[in-house]
């Protein structure tokens, strides 16, 4: 099959969304959502590059590499290669991979990360064949909202309240506290320090946090829950929606300051997200946890989240 590789243009957003959704139909992402992420990626600080593969007039695959703001190093990158299932096993993925590797070598990359779901054996084999090795796993879990029994967990909310703690939402806080976004960013940075990462964690700045956690079109201010001790933010758990998945929600970051752990804060926050999902007609909540994050995995298991195939993180060393 004849194809050629070229640089991505804004006219390709619909095509790459279709490719992504064909490969991973359970995680649909619209062209508008991809465009937003691209347009708000700070290219003054970080590198981002994408190529597409074209057969005739049709874009059938794409590949990209980028710096990772939460694990920033000038010579470390995340890479992704995706080919529409109808055009796989014809050398397109290989050509896309070789194109981005050529760039990475020019950039003097020392490490690249990629991921694949454990039930996608061809993706795993492709990465392994090209020198990537497994470094860690992340469990995906899903909760069926409609069958959830809140009565079994009432004591967690009672214990939480007994400590004099409260839960509010980002929507409510923005109405009453002019400093709420700065406080929320500070909480986010602190919590993220304890989230397992495949490489050294680097905090993101306030503007990046705003763009991707607060102002993103998938963000839900009424579904962004904040635990408080007085006026101090001590924990958070937020939900995100997907334009093309009207019945599903994605669980964002759930975390609690170290000094407030053991007070049912995380459980109370998670219960609020489930309550929100049911009240607004959602059916499934999807979440991901690193396999070493024993505490959050235990909470999700208690709540009835059912594990799905794991996502495997791979790493390739260039030195």
Query: 101: Cβ–Cβ under 8 A, 6 or more apart, which residues?
Result: none
Query: Taking a C-beta distance cutoff of 8 angstroms, is the pair 133, 314 a contact?
Result: yes
pLDDT at 7: 98
Quickly state the pLDDT bin for 243 (edges 50, 70, 90): confident
Nearest to 156 by CA among 263, 276, 285: 263
> What pLDDT, in 10s, does the model give residues 142-187?
999 999 999 999 999 999 999 999 999 999 999 999 999 999 999 9
pLDDT at 1: 80
pLDDT at 283: 96
Query: Taking a C-beta distance cutoff of 8 angstroms, is the pair 79, 48 a contact?
Result: no
> What pLDDT, in 10s, does the model give residues 14-57?
999 999 999 999 999 999 999 999 999 999 999 999 999 999 99
Say if 4-109 and 141-311 have the same CATH topology.
yes
Could you say which architecture CATH assigns to the domain 141-311?
3-Layer(aba) Sandwich (3.40)
**Does residue 138 have a pLDDT over 90?**
yes
User: Was domain 4-109 assigned CATH 3.30.300.30?
Assistant: no
Break the chain into its structural domains and give their ranges. Answer: 4-109, 141-311
Between the alpha carbon of residue 251 and those of residues 58, 78, 96, 213, the distances in Å are 34, 22, 32, 12
Mean pLDDT of 218-232: 97
Percent of the chain with pLDDT over 70: 100
pLDDT at 319: 77
Average predicted confidence (pLDDT) for the chain:
96
Quickly state the pLDDT bin for 81 (edges 50, 70, 90): very high
> What pLDDT, in 10s, does the model give residues 282-304?
999 999 999 989 889 999 999 99
CA distance 62 to 54: 9
């Amino acid at each position: 099959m004849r194809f050629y590789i070229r640089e991505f243009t804004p006219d390709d957003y619909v095509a790459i969304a279709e490719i992504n959704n064909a490969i991973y139909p359970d995680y649909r992402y619209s062209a508008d959502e991809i465009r937003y992420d691209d347009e708000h990626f700070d290219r003054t600080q970080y590198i981002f590059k994408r190529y597409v593969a074209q057969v005739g007039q049709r874009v059938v695959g794409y590949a990209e590499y980028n710096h990772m703001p939460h694990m920033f190093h000038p010579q470390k990158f995340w890479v992704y290669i995706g080919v529409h299932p109808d055009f796989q096993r014809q050398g397109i993925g290989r050509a896309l991979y070789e194109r981005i590797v050529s760039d990475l070598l020019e950039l003097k990359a020392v490490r690249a990360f990629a991921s694949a779901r454990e039930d996608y054996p061809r993706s795993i084999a492709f990465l392994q064949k090209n020198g990537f090795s497994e470094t860690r796993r992340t469990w995906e879990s899903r909760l069926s909202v409609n069958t959830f029994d809140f009565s079994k967990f009432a004591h967690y909310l009672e214990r939480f309240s007994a400590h004099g703690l409260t839960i509010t939402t980002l929507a409510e806080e923005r109405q009453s506290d002019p400093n709420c976004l700065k406080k929320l960013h500070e909480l986010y940075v602190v919590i993220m320090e304890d989230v397992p990462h495949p490489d050294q964690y680097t905090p993101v700045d306030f503007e990046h946090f705003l763009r991707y956690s607060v102002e993103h079109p998938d963000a839900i201010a009424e579904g962004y829950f904040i635990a408080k001790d007085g006026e101090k933010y001590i924990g958070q758990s937020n939900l995100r929606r997907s334009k093309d998945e009207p019945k599903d929600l994605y669980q964002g970051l759930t975390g609690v300051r170290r000094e407030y752990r053991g007070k049912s804060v995380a459980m109370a926050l998670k219960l609020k997200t489930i309550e929100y999902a049911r009240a607004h007609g959602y059916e499934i909540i999807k979440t991901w946890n690193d396999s070493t994050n024993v505490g959050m995995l235990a909470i999700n298991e208690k709540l009835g989240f059912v594990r799905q195939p794991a996502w495997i993180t791979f790493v390739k060393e260039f030195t």
